[in-house]
Amino acid sequence: MAVLDLVTLRWVAFIYYAAFLILLLLIRQKHKDVPGTLSWVLFTALIFGEATIALDNDLRRFSDFVHVGNAVILFGYMFLMVGCVHFTRSRLPKKLLLYISLFIVGTGLLSYFTQVPTLIRVSFAMSVIIGSMLYSIIILWRWNGFRSKTEKNFLMACLAIHLLAFIVRVYVNAASVTFNFNPDVVDSWTSLTLVVTNACILMSIHLMITAFKHQRLEDEIRARYDAEMNALSSLQKVQEANESKSRFMASVSHELRTPLNAIIGFADTIQAGIAGPVNEKQQEYLGYIHSSGEVLLRLINDVLNFTTLKENKVSIRAEAFDLTQLVAETIPMLDSILTKKSCKLVTDFKSKEQFPVCADKIRLQQVILNLVTNAAKYGPRGGVITVTVETRPDVVRLSVQDQGPGISAKHKSEIFEPFLRAGQESLGEEGVGLGLSICKTLMQAMGGDIDFENRAEGGSTFWIDIPREYRSESDLEGYI
Ligand code: ADP
């Protein structure tokens, strides 16, 4: 067996351990949250310390060197153990660790003071064997945490090399006693096996940390995925519940409309005297039946409109027409509400003026009716409602100004949301909070827009933008 150059080997060990110490420091810096890394830094620092001492030949000749060097390695391996125990987050009995440490330190001290060489070997072997064994056990224990095959294979290879080097060391040392080997040969082999085993240990530590991180990342991703799936299924449930609610409302409203029309119709017939003479009091009461029926019908129509819009059942039939003409046709339909609130409706455009637009006439009329009705409903009795029309790039803007309270900042964002009534719930004006939401859906379906602003002099202006030219189906996709 050729004698290995001891000095070179010591230098190799020194550079090796210096590199490992730097590596471990970097790992610690990057993965502070991985348990055990601090102890592993100390482990590398101590074996690096031993390698530094070993470089000095004078020191090596010093008779106590073997004790100093062994003590440093011994503590190093103890930190390797502690790091491993931390890493597993296991509840390995601390007392057991204490007893092992006391045993190792005790035999070390005893061997030092009594100068018994076998004791030196025992304490040294114990620390190295226990430290290494524990590290192997931890790898196997953590085996399930290594989900990547490459990591597993690398670790197994490290472990195998480590154990092999360890066996060589034990063999060389044991054989040296029997066959009286040249001490330099024994020393060389021991140093070499130490370099190899430590290299394997450090590699494994790095792999274990990586695997730990991967595992944690995977767990996080899984947890997030589960949370998202849960949220999704809750959302689906809410959507389903919403749809069945809409279907229920639609069918109920539909069923209510027929008898209600009959009530209004028969009230009209009786009022007209077709079924015989009606006195003044009866006329008055029939009037109440009629107007209440109308209010109820409007509400039911709102709900029906909303549900059919939500189910995308409405089709938009865009055509080109003059907006002033449509406004002129719509004004008479507002008579009853304007009379009821004694409001005056003024338009600021000349009847001959033309504003060509391209939209669904019936749907647009529905929107205008809604805006003017709201202006009357929420405006003061005897107020003035102004309808203006102006041409803008690509659109014609129709605005409805009122002298009402305007929309408070608090409710600005919810005004177009279904069923939200911006504080009107308890103020007595009839409604269900669907009108503006329907208007918005319709305007968007026609390729237009709707919004409002509060006026400085009080009241609000609701405006709609109507396209001047036909917008292709694809422009409107997603609305209807
Ligand atoms: P509804 O009139 O049935 O409540 P809308 O969707 O038409 O439903 O209106 C939603 C809410 O917006 C109303 O309850 C009201 O509080 C507010 N609002 C609508 N138009 C006006 C307006 N011109 N002036 C003040 N508030 C208004």
- For the ranges 21-30, 61-70, 236-245, 464-473, which has the lowest average pLDDT? 61-70
Residues 227 and 249 in one domain: no
Residue nearest to atom 2 of ligand 1 (CA): 431
Number of domains in the chain: 3
**Higher pLDDT among residues 254 and 240, named by residue:** 240
Q: Tell me the average pLDDT across 12-40.
A: 87
Domain finish residue from 310, 327, 356: 310
Q: Could you tell me if residue 476 is inside a domain?
A: no
CA distances from 469 to 179, 317, 318 (A): 106, 13, 10
Q: Tell me the average pLDDT across 327-346.
A: 91
Tokens of 217: 């990342």
Q: Which pLDDT tens digit goes with each residue over 373-385?
A: 999 999 999 999 9
CA distances from 143 to 83, 155, 217, 300 (A): 17, 9, 17, 67
Q: Tell me the average pLDDT across 209-219.
A: 82
Q: Ligand 1: distance of its center to the CA of 259 in Å?
A: 28
Residues 46 and 65 in one domain: yes
Domain finish residue from 232, 257, 282: 232
Q: Could you tell me if residue 479 is inside a domain?
A: no
**Higher pLDDT among residues 253 and 393, named by residue:** 393
pLDDT at position 461 is 97
Q: Ligand 1: distance of its center to the CA of 253 in Å?
A: 21
Residues 83 and 144 in one domain: yes
SS3 category, 448: coil
Atom of ligand 1 nearest to the CA of 437: 6
Residues 354 and 403 in one domain: yes
Domain finish residue from 288, 310, 332: 310
Long-range contacts, 16-20 (Cβ 8 Å, 24+): 16/51, 16/195, 16/198, 16/199, 17/44, 17/47, 17/48, 17/51, 17/198, 18/48, 18/51, 20/44, 20/47, 20/48, 20/198, 20/199, 20/202
Q: Ligand 1: distance of its center to the CA of 437 in Å?
A: 10
pLDDT at position 478 is 41
pLDDT at residue 404 is higher than 80 = yes
Q: Ligand 1: distance of its center to the CA of 386 in Å?
A: 17
Tokens of 459: 């009241």
pLDDT band at 232 (very low <50, low <70, confident <90, very high): very high
pLDDT band at 472 (very low <50, low <70, confident <90, very high): low
Residues 392 and 327 in one domain: yes
Phi, psi of 405 (to 5 degrees): -80, -10
Residues 257 and 377 in one domain: no
**327 CB-side CA count, 13 A:** 27
Which residue from 245, 244, 261 is spatially nearest to 298, judged by alpha carbons?
261
pLDDT at position 169 is 74
Q: Ligand 1: distance of its center to the CA of 315 in Å?
A: 25
Residues with CB under 6 A from ligand 1: 374-375, 378, 402, 404-405, 407, 415, 421-422, 424, 431-437, 460, 462
CA distance 349 to 347: 6
pLDDT band at 479 (very low <50, low <70, confident <90, very high): very low
Q: Ligand 1: distance of its center to the CA of 37 in Å?
A: 64
Q: Ligand 1: distance of its center to the CA of 370 in Å?
A: 9
Q: Could you tell me if residue 142 is inside a domain?
A: yes
| Residue from 436, 437, 464 to probe ligand 1 pocket by mutation (most atoms less than 8 Å from CB) | 436
Residues 276 and 407 in one domain: no
Q: Could you tell me if residue 333 is inside a domain?
A: yes
pLDDT at position 181 is 66
Q: Tell me the average pLDDT across 215-237.
A: 92
pLDDT band at 162 (very low <50, low <70, confident <90, very high): confident
> What pTM value is reported for the model?
0.53
Residues 255 and 198 in one domain: no
Which residue from 321, 277, 310 is spatially nearest to 437, judged by alpha carbons?
310
- 31 within 8 A of 37, measured Cβ to Cβ: yes
- 446 within 8 A of 361, measured Cβ to Cβ: no
| Residue from 298, 366, 369, 374 to probe ligand 1 pocket by mutation (most atoms less than 8 Å from CB) | 374
pLDDT band at 474 (very low <50, low <70, confident <90, very high): very low
- For the ranges 1-5, 142-146, 254-258, 429-433, which has the lowest average pLDDT? 1-5
Q: Could you tell me if residue 348 is inside a domain?
A: yes
Q: Ligand 1: distance of its center to the CA of 168 in Å?
A: 90
Q: Ligand 1: distance of its center to the CA of 152 in Å?
A: 67
CA distance 219 to 47: 35
Tokens of 259: 């008898």
Q: Could you tell me if residue 441 is inside a domain?
A: yes
Residues 219 and 327 in one domain: no
pLDDT at residue 480 is higher than 50 = no
Q: Are strands 395-401 and 460-467 parallel, antiparallel or unpaired?
A: antiparallel
Atom of ligand 1 nearest to the CA of 459: 24
Residue nearest to atom 21 of ligand 1 (CA): 374
Q: Which pLDDT tens digit goes with each residue over 132-141?
A: 676 677 766 6
Helices (H), 115-182: 117-141, 149-179
Q: Tell me the average pLDDT across 173-195.
A: 72
- 418 within 8 A of 246, measured Cβ to Cβ: no
Residue nearest to atom 14 of ligand 1 (CA): 421
pLDDT at residue 359 is higher than 90 = yes
Tokens of 65: 């060197």
Atom of ligand 1 nearest to the CA of 302: 3
CA distance 267 to 261: 10
Residues 266 and 338 in one domain: no
pLDDT at position 83 is 81
Residues 455 and 364 in one domain: yes
Domain with 207, as residue range(s), is 6-232
Q: Tell me the average pLDDT across 265-271.
A: 91
